[in-house]
Chains A and B, each alone.
Chain A
Amino acid sequence: MHAAELLQFVIAGLKNGSIYALVALGFTIVYAATGIINFAQGEFYMLGGMVSVFVLGALKVPLAVAIAGGVALTVVVGALVERLALRPRRDAGQLTLIIITIGVSLLLRSVARHAFGANELSLPAFSPGPSVMFMGAAIERQALWVWAITAVSVVGLWLVYEKTSFGRAMKACSISHEAARLMGIDTARVVALAFALAAGLGAIAGAAVTPLTSTAFDVGARIGLKGFAAAILGGLGDFRAAVAGGLALGLVESLSVAYISSTYKDAIALVVLLAVLFLRPQGLFGRMAKEKV
């Protein structure tokens, strides 16, 4: 295989991988603040794309404004999901909350189906133009946007977590809600913000990917599964691990098409995931959970 082709496979893998990474980040944020897996994360991704398309078509505003609108609305939905669906049952145990998120995801999908229709919808590229050639491999301009957004998100999240009091409050919540509350942290507010943040990230990913893949009311389930797998692969609860897990998953998929068979692409990715979980239950880059005292 020529070097240019191999590079093309790697680029395809990294492109899909950074999409998975953005979704995985959403899982990680909510998990860090609440200890639950939010199965509605894929629907935030779907809403980001669908609402942006809708705003663009209905209000005829510039693309950037439409996407800002789509992301803002999804953030509101994220906060509402926490406030209306999860907070009333917050003492019910994690399993109940996880099941509630599954219900929420079905609800959001049905609402989107009726509000926006069943057809696939698309957005124009952020910066239209032919692919950029790099050492014989082609890179879509939109893929550069996806990479940039992933990089900015990771740095931004790192700054929030390390440098702000909100970030420290989130960290405290991830260790113990009870202790955080005793230390005067408004844990309910932290959880609500975590949901809003996760929804915003999911929505940005959904809007950034729509020019590449189109979107539809039912894209959330599949991307949610991939993002979840990426978060598990990397190691739940750590941003860098989520990003690494996403990129690794994308690369495994792409290289299995290159060297094995496109028919078994998804199966191979799942086998790798299982293998990692057997050998390193904490994920590729996660730290073994310590009993916190």
Chain B
Amino acid sequence: MHRAWKDMAAMAAAGALSITMVLSGCASPANQAATGGSAKPAVAPVKIGAILSLTGSYAGLGAPEKRAIELEVKRINDAGGVGGAPIEVVVEDDATDAQKAVAAATKLIEKDRVVAIIGATGTGGTMAIRNEASRAGVPIVSMAGGSVITDTFDANTFQTPWPNRVVVAFTLKYLKANGITRIALLSDSSGYGKDGHDVTVKQAAAAGVAIVADETFNPGDTDMTAQLTKIKAAGPQAVWLWNAGKEAATAAKNLRQIDPSATIRLVGAPGNGRMEFITGAGDAAEGFTFAAGKILLPATYGAGTEEYKVATSFVDRFKTAYGVAPDIFAGHAYDALTIVAEALKKAGPGADGAKLRTAIEGTKGLIGIGGTFTYSPTDHNGLSEKDLVVYRVSKGTWELAK
């Protein structure tokens, strides 16, 4: 009798405590994006994981991705969530480190029981978490552009940026059309840099472009003068830089230093479509040419089109919330979250990983920021050269390259 009384008291106390916690919403706010629209706490939120590089080399990429995710989670929840349930994104920082990305994936899968993972920010991180996610049957939508992510096919892994195989083919055509047939490669030793390097080496000859020098550097390096001196001696018409981090600005400045009259053009990749690159490189960024999606100049979507409306609506909301225009990385995060959210609407908020994976694979004609996504059982990227344009830096900003 006495004992049963005690048990009941304990249960009542625990109950009261848990109700208080739910009402005050004190579930560890430290690293979680808000669920937003908390008016109806009755339905348990659908948890989605996000593995972002908020620190380390790719910190400048992870930060806009996190902003875009927070913005969109709030919008989706304010509009009623997915199938009546709100979504909640649990954000983990992988510090641009593949090992930490794996640890984050394990935590998201085992502890937070997420139904899908958005991420990672980088190619290396994405490749590292594929096994972990496949084993648990949790689909991944990556925001990294390495071709390897979808070339070495994994039924469970999807990709939102234009893969390097598409970017390289598109850029090579532009170079050839502009009479540039002798190029040098300057790539970093990260997953993205290596992937871009390898894809370029594979495609260049067939496109009629010769690679006359091939140099590398490490993420974190602060001077590439030596590599560029060697490159200059080989006499290329352009240097193709493969790097998505802060080193790109240094490379641009070093090139301008040893080639003051800018006889050698500097070419890059979508990973350089960040204002920080232009500010960091200053005058040395002038003339820098790279292919990327249309978000940098929304007019390129074609005014009045559905794509234009989706993009400008996102740009406006992002500007209102953060005071700056979104870059391509914010766009990749928007796309990744939208793809998962739309699939959840189709599969229902109670869907498990396998059902959700099938629903993501069924994505068809979804208008996003990076392009219009149509996945299939053999294509988990779904973008093509028509989603790209060539930009050229002029007077401290991007303009469409002629």
Seen from chain A, the residues whose Cβ lies within 8 Å of a Cβ on chain B are: 1-2, 5, 8-9, 11-13, 15-16, 19, 113, 117-122, 124, 130-131, 133, 137-140, 209, 212-214, 216-219, 222-223, 253-254, 257-258, 262-263, 265-266
Q: A262–B215 contact, CB under 8 A?
A: yes
Q: A257–B226 contact, CB under 8 A?
A: yes
How far is A139 from B229 in the complex, measured between Cα atoms in Å? Answer: 12
Q: Is B60 an interface residue (CB 8 A)?
A: yes
Q: Is B367 an interface residue (CB 8 A)?
A: no
How far is A140 from B253 in the complex, measured between Cα atoms in Å? Answer: 9
Can you identify 18 A-B contacts, CB atoms within 8 angstroms? A2-B233, A5-B229, A5-B233, A8-B225, A113-B55, A118-B62, A120-B280, A122-B249, A133-B260, A138-B258, A217-B59, A218-B55, A218-B56, A222-B220, A253-B226, A254-B226, A257-B215, A262-B216
How far in angstroms is the closest Cβ of chain B from A66?
16
How far is A282 from B215 in the complex, measured between Cα atoms in Å? Answer: 35
Residues on B with beta carbons closer than 8 Å to the beta carbon of A19: 222
Residues on A with beta carbons closer than 8 Å to the beta carbon of B276: 119-120
Among B256, B260, B282, contact of A122 (Cβ-Cβ < 8 Å): B282
Residues on B with beta carbons closer than 8 Å to the beta carbon of A137: 258
Q: Which of B226-272 contact A (CB under 8 A)?
A: 226-227, 229-230, 233, 246, 249-250, 253, 256-258, 260
Among A212, A223, A258, contact of B226 (Cβ-Cβ < 8 Å): A258
Q: A118–B225 contact, CB under 8 A?
A: no
A16: nearest residue on chain B (CB-CB)?
B223
Residues on B with beta carbons closer than 8 Å to the beta carbon of A12: 223, 225-226, 229
Q: A209–B257 contact, CB under 8 A?
A: no
Among B63, B189, B230, B260, contact of A131 (Cβ-Cβ < 8 Å): B260
How far is A18 from B226 in the complex, measured between Cα atoms in Å? Answer: 15
Q: A8–B258 contact, CB under 8 A?
A: yes
How far is A119 from B102 in the complex, measured between Cα atoms in Å? Answer: 24
B277: nearest residue on chain A (CB-CB)?
A120
Q: B218–A266 contact, CB under 8 A?
A: yes
A118: nearest residue on chain B (CB-CB)?
B59
Known A-B contacts A122-B279, A122-B280, A214-B246; A257 and B218 likewise in contact (beta carbons under 8 Å): no
Residues on A with beta carbons closer than 8 Å to the beta carbon of B233: 1-2, 5
How far is A216 from B229 in the complex, measured between Cα atoms in Å? Answer: 26
B189: nearest residue on chain A (CB-CB)?
A263
How far in angstroms is the closest Cβ of chain A from B318?
16
Q: Is B54 an interface residue (CB 8 A)?
A: yes
Closest CB pairs A-B (n = 10): A118-B59, A12-B225, A120-B246, A257-B226, A213-B222, A214-B280, A254-B226, A8-B229, A262-B215, A122-B280
Q: A212–B250 contact, CB under 8 A?
A: yes
How far is A49 from B143 in the complex, measured between Cα atoms in Å? Answer: 31
Residues on B with beta carbons closer than 8 Å to the beta carbon of A222: 220, 222
How far in angstroms is the closest Cβ of chain A from B215?
5
Residues on B with beta carbons closer than 8 Å to the beta carbon of A5: 229-230, 233
Seen from chain B, the residues whose Cβ lies within 8 Å of a Cβ on chain A are: 54-56, 59-60, 62-63, 189, 215-218, 220, 222-223, 225-227, 229-230, 233, 246, 249-250, 253, 256-258, 260, 276, 279-280, 282
How far in angstroms is the closest Cβ of chain B from A147?
14
How far in angstroms is the closest Cβ of chain A from B208?
26
Residues on A with beta carbons closer than 8 Å to the beta carbon of B56: 218
How far is A258 from B276 in the complex, measured between Cα atoms in Å? Answer: 30
Q: A15–B225 contact, CB under 8 A?
A: yes
Q: A138–B216 contact, CB under 8 A?
A: no
Further contacts, 18 of them, CB under 8 A, given A130-B260, A219-B222: A2-B233, A5-B230, A9-B229, A12-B226, A118-B59, A118-B62, A119-B60, A119-B63, A120-B280, A122-B249, A122-B279, A140-B253, A216-B59, A216-B246, A218-B59, A222-B222, A265-B217, A265-B218
Q: B63–A258 contact, CB under 8 A?
A: no
Residues on A with beta carbons closer than 8 Å to the beta carbon of B54: 118
Residues on B with beta carbons closer than 8 Å to the beta carbon of A1: 233
A109: nearest residue on chain B (CB-CB)?
B55
Residue of A117, A131, A137, A216 contacting most chain B CB atoms (<10 Å): A216
Residues on B with beta carbons closer than 8 Å to the beta carbon of A131: 256-258, 260
Known A-B contacts A8-B258, A216-B59; A209 and B222 likewise in contact (beta carbons under 8 Å): yes
Residues on B with beta carbons closer than 8 Å to the beta carbon of A254: 225-226
Q: B216–A258 contact, CB under 8 A?
A: no
How far in angstroms is the closest Cβ of chain A from B284?
11
A222: nearest residue on chain B (CB-CB)?
B220
Q: B260–A258 contact, CB under 8 A?
A: no
Q: A13–B59 contact, CB under 8 A?
A: no
Residues on B with beta carbons closer than 8 Å to the beta carbon of A138: 257-258, 260
How far is A218 from B220 in the complex, measured between Cα atoms in Å? Answer: 9
Residues on A with beta carbons closer than 8 Å to the beta carbon of B229: 5, 8-9, 12, 258
Residues on A with beta carbons closer than 8 Å to the beta carbon of B62: 118
How far is A138 from B250 in the complex, measured between Cα atoms in Å? Answer: 16
How far is A117 from B246 in the complex, measured between Cα atoms in Å? Answer: 14
Q: A117–B257 contact, CB under 8 A?
A: no
How far in angstroms is the closest Cβ of chain B from A263?
5
Residue of B62, B222, B227 contacting most chain A CB atoms (<10 Å): B222
How far in angstroms is the closest Cβ of chain A from B122?
14
Residues on B with beta carbons closer than 8 Å to the beta carbon of A139: 257
Known A-B contacts A120-B249, A214-B246, A214-B250; A263 and B216 likewise in contact (beta carbons under 8 Å): yes
Residues on A with beta carbons closer than 8 Å to the beta carbon of B282: 122, 124
How far is A13 from B286 in the complex, measured between Cα atoms in Å? Answer: 26
Residues on A with beta carbons closer than 8 Å to the beta carbon of B279: 122
Among B60, B223, B226, B230, contact of A118 (Cβ-Cβ < 8 Å): B60
Residues on B with beta carbons closer than 8 Å to the beta carbon of A133: 260
Residues on B with beta carbons closer than 8 Å to the beta carbon of A218: 55-56, 59
A7: nearest residue on chain B (CB-CB)?
B229
How far in angstroms is the closest Cβ of chain A from B188?
11
Residues on A with beta carbons closer than 8 Å to the beta carbon of B55: 113, 118, 217-218
Q: B227–A119 contact, CB under 8 A?
A: no
How far in angstroms is the closest Cβ of chain A from B244?
12
How far in angstroms is the closest Cβ of chain B from A282?
29
Residues on B with beta carbons closer than 8 Å to the beta carbon of A15: 223, 225
How far in angstroms is the closest Cβ of chain B from A195?
25
